[in-house]
Every structure is written in C-alpha cells, then in structure tokens.
Structure 1
Amino acid sequence: MGAPLKVTAIRAAIPFKLAVTFSDGTSGTFNAGPMLAQRGEGTEPLRDRAYFAKVALANGVPTWPNYFDISPLWLQEEMEKNGELERPRPVRRMKV
C-alpha cells in the first residue's frame, strides 16, 4: 500500500468552491455547497465567504481555523462522484 492520499494545493474560489490538487496528480474544483447545506457545528462558520476562504492545509488535510477538516480521500471520492475530478493525462513519448 502506498503513501496516504494528501492534498498538495488548495485555494478557495467563490462561491464556496475549492480548487484542489492531490498527491496522486488528480485535481479539480470541489463544490462545497452541498456539504455546507448540511447543518452542523463545524460547517456553520464556513457559510461565511470570508471564513470559507481561510482554508489551509494541515499535513495535507484541508482545515479551517475552527479545526473543521475534510478527509482527502472523502474529498477525492466526492469529486469523482460529482464529475469534478480530473486525472492527469499520460505522457506520450515520441519515437526517435
């Protein structure tokens, strides 16, 4: 089994989306709207756009100042399910 999946880059985009790059080379834009629609103590502050934009990486895990975090594996699975995940294209080698 390889290294655990991590997020290597993240950036908040308006409205309530995350531009994400994973350690396996996949990437995409996650629509956090459905996640934020579920009521919860952790997600409540994230409904404020300025607060949502404070997302940062803590050891490869998207995390907000209130310590709410998202599992990279869950995030990637949700993005895959919603058609938001892009896989890197294989490099084509030219014959010489």
Structure 2
Amino acid sequence: MEDNENKEADMPVISMFFGIIITMNADDHVPPHIHARYQGHEASFTFDGNLLKGDLPRKQRNWSRHGCCCMPKSWKPTGSWPSTSSTHSESTRYADKEATDMTIDYSIKVTQCEPMPGYKLKVTCSDGATGIFDMSRYIDRGMFKPLKDPQTFDRVRLAFGVPSWPGDIDIAAERVRFDMQII
C-alpha cells in the first residue's frame, strides 16, 4: 500500500488552520511533539514551540510559538503526553529503549505498509529499510483494541507516512522504524 495523503484517508490530524496540518501519533517517541505540514514543508515541534527537525516558511513557523499553548488537551489522548491518568497512560514511551535517544530520525515515514497474519505489518520506511513490525503487543491496549478484529487490522493504510486505521487509530512511524525487525 502506497502513502495516501488525500482527505479521504483516515488521518491522525488533530488540527488544520491557515493551510497548516497538525498531526500527532500514538505511542510516539519523547520528547512529546507534533508534526506540522504546510505546502510540502514539514517540521516537528515540542509542545512549547521549539523546532526539533524540519522547516516551515517563516510566517507559518511563527504559529508554533503561539499555537502550541492551546493544543495539549488535544494531544493527551494520543498517549504521548506525560500523564498519570489511567485513561492516558497507554503509551509504552519506548520503555524498553533509551527514551532520551536523540538519534531518532524525526522525519522518518513509512512509505509502504502491508498487513500480515498475527498482527504484523510488513513496512518499508523512507530511509529504505524494510522490515516486520509486530503490533501484537498493542492489540489489548486502549485505542488499539478495535484492531483485534482481523478485518479491521487488515484495513491499515498510510496517512502522512504513518500506518493508520479507521477510527483515528495510528502508530508513529518513528516507533515502527525503531522497533521493526529488518528483513
């Protein structure tokens, strides 16, 4: 399945304004951040508006200084916002990896994704790596529970380079790349 960035796809979009599309993915890496896209430009920002990677035109980049302060309520349900609430602590936040590893490529995308038996995805990433990502460890957790149905799991598609399913379910491309078994 090739990446599909049209409005028909289920996208992990949390906001759209002034032509800027803001997304945040479930079980994404730390620090908590958003992805902003504008007319072919892409950037990742921390919640306080600091640029992690990428670039936006200057006028749109100014949004990050003012817009981030009003967004945390939208981000909490993704599992990427630090929380002690049981309803928002589903994220494993790379507990089995070095959480502060800044070698993570914030611009990584999944360019191809194919469902496989056993809740696995065969993926190719934008850096050329191909591998198998095992979703079985997520299937009994929070937002991922609907994916227990194999027919629902098989409806995976790509939206903005992120494996996504109907019902606003997604898994961060960085997580997929970091944890997949290279083939």
Fold-level match, TM-score > 0.5? yes
How many corresponding residue pairs? 80
Residue 85 of structure 1 deviates from its aligned partner by 2.1
Q: CA RMSD in A?
A: 1.6
Deviation of the 1:68 alpha carbon:
0.8
The alignment partner of 1:57 has SS state of strand
Please state whether the residue corresponding to 1:51 is helix, strand or coil. Answer: helix
The match for 2:72 is none
1:51 alignment partner, one of 152, 167, 172: 152
Opposite residue 179 of structure 2, the aligned amino acid is E
Give the match for residue 132 of structure 2: 29
Per-residue deviation, residues 9-55 of structure 1 (Å, max 9, x unmatched) = 00001121100000000011111111213x20x11110100000000
Match for residue 77 of structure 1? 178
State the SS of the aligned residue for 1:36: coil
CA distance in 1, matches of 2:162, 2:172: 6
Q: Write the distance in 2 (CA, Å) between the matches of 1:21 and 1:69.
A: 16
Tell me, what secondary structure is at the counterpart of 1:33?
coil
Residues in 2 aligned to 1:59 and 1:78: alpha-carbon distance in whole angstroms: 19
Rounded Cα–Cα distance in structure 2 between residues aligned with 1:48 and 1:7? 23
Write out the 4+ residue segments of structure 1 that deviate beyond 2 Å after TM superposition: none
Q: Distance in 2 between matches of 1:70 and 1:27?
A: 17
Say if 1:29 and 1:85, in contact at 8 Å, map to a contact too.
Answer: yes
Q: Which ranges in structure 1 are unaligned for 5 or more consecutive residues?
A: 87-96
Matched, 1:20 2:123: yes
Partner of 1:90: none
CA separation in 1, counterparts of 2:163 and 2:175?
Answer: 11
2:158 counterpart SS class: strand
Please, what TM-score do these two structures have when normalized by structure 1?
A: 0.76
1:76, 1:85 within 8 Å by CA — same for their partners in 2?
no
Distance 1:31 1:74 in 2: 11
CA distance in structure 1 between the aligned counterparts of 2:158 and 2:145, rounded to whole angstroms: 20
Name the amino acid aligned to 2:119: F
Alpha-carbon distance, 1:66 to partner: 0.8
In structure 2, the residue matched to 1:5 is 108
State the SS of the aligned residue for 1:15. coil
